[in-house]
């Protein structure tokens, strides 16, 4: 029965076995892409719902392509129906978008019976993701550091600061320079009378840098280099993950 229905395949009215085969094949390829995503993703922000979406969206794409077939009217109708749905999920990581498109591509290729295209494309994509995972392009340190330091007002200190940063940093970016005004602190005496004390900071300037450490860069060594800057008054060094938004 299966062979007869396969030979008599009609895109306008696909049979049960054809639809079952295409959706199962799309599910298998999407699962392979999701497993590759789990294996090659280093971020701890891997949500189970996103991995499930990678698997299920391929099956949905195959089902939609089977429903459209060769009918232009069906295609336009499905586009109109899907435009009602508002997708508000934000994918901050471009790599996650790439995997989502790969799963969609595998489902679309399976839905139009392009099994060889779907299988070949999925295997090449997964192998490429694994190779990139262990290549120099896969940087394990994605933390962006922020350095704030206060030094005397001296034009030569900027070059000294950046030289110290480049010892342990791959990239640096000067974000802000600020000249400090006298600081006023409000205190109270024993009788509760407010008093204003003023601390002079007329000779200080504050530099703010965004930095990214080298592959084997050391935060301790960076701190020691910055503390050796002549006339350093204050140093603040912090690191955090910054998402890449499209």
63-99 pLDDT per residue, tens: 888 877 766 555 555 555 455 455 555 666 788 889 9
Could you tell me whether strands 169-179 and 183-188 are parallel, antiparallel, or unpaired per DSSP bridges? unpaired
Find the mean pLDDT for residues 7-15.
60
User: Which percentage of the chain shows pLDDT scores above 90?
Assistant: 15
Q: What is the pLDDT of residues 166-205, one digit of tens each?
A: 888 888 888 888 877 666 656 666 666 666 565 555 678 8
pLDDT higher for 1 or 195? 195
Q: Which residue has the tokens 């600061």?
A: 161
Residues 43, 48, 50, 53: is their CA dihedral positive or negative? positive
Pick the CATH number of 143-241 from 3.40.50.11890, 3.30.70.60, 2.60.120.10, 3.30.420.40: 3.30.70.60
For the question of whether the overall pTM of this predicted structure is more than 0.75, the answer is: no
From 109-113, 115-119, 156-160, 184-188, the region with the lowest mean pLDDT: 184-188
Q: Where in the chain are the domains?
A: 2-133, 143-241
Burial label, 76 (beta-carbon count in 10 A; 0-12, 13-18, 19+)? exposed
Length in residues, the chain = 246
């Amino acid at each position: 029965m299966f062979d007869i229905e396969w030979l008599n395949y009609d895109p306008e009215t696909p049979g049960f076995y054809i639809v079952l085969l295409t959706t199962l094949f799309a599910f298998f390829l999407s699962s392979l892409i999701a497993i590759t995503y789990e294996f090659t993703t280093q971020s701890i922000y891997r949500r189970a719902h996103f991995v499930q979406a990678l698997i299920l969206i391929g099956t949905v794409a195959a089902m939609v392509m089977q429903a459209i077939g060769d009918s232009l009217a069906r295609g336009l109708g499905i586009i109109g129906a899907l435009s009602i749905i508002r997708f508000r999920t934000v994918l901050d990581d471009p790599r996650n978008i790439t995997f989502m498109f790969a799963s969609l591509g595998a489902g679309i290729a399976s839905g139009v019976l392009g099994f060889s295209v779907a299988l070949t494309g999925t295997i090449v994509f997964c192998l490429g993701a694994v190779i990139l995972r262990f290549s120099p392009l896969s940087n394990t340190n994605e933390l962006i550091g922020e350095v704030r330091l206060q030094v005397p007002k001296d034009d030569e200190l900027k070059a000294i600061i950046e030289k110290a940063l480049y010892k342990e940093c791959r990239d640096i970016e000067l974000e802000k320079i600020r000249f400090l005004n006298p600081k006023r602190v409000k205190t109270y005496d024993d009788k509760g009378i407010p008093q204003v004390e003023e601390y002079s900071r007329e000779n200080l300037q504050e530099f703010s840098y965004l930095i990214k450490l080298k592959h084997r860069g050391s935060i301790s060594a960076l701190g020691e280099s910055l503390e050796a800057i002549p006339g350093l008054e204050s140093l603040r060094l912090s690191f955090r993950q910054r998402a890449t938004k499209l």
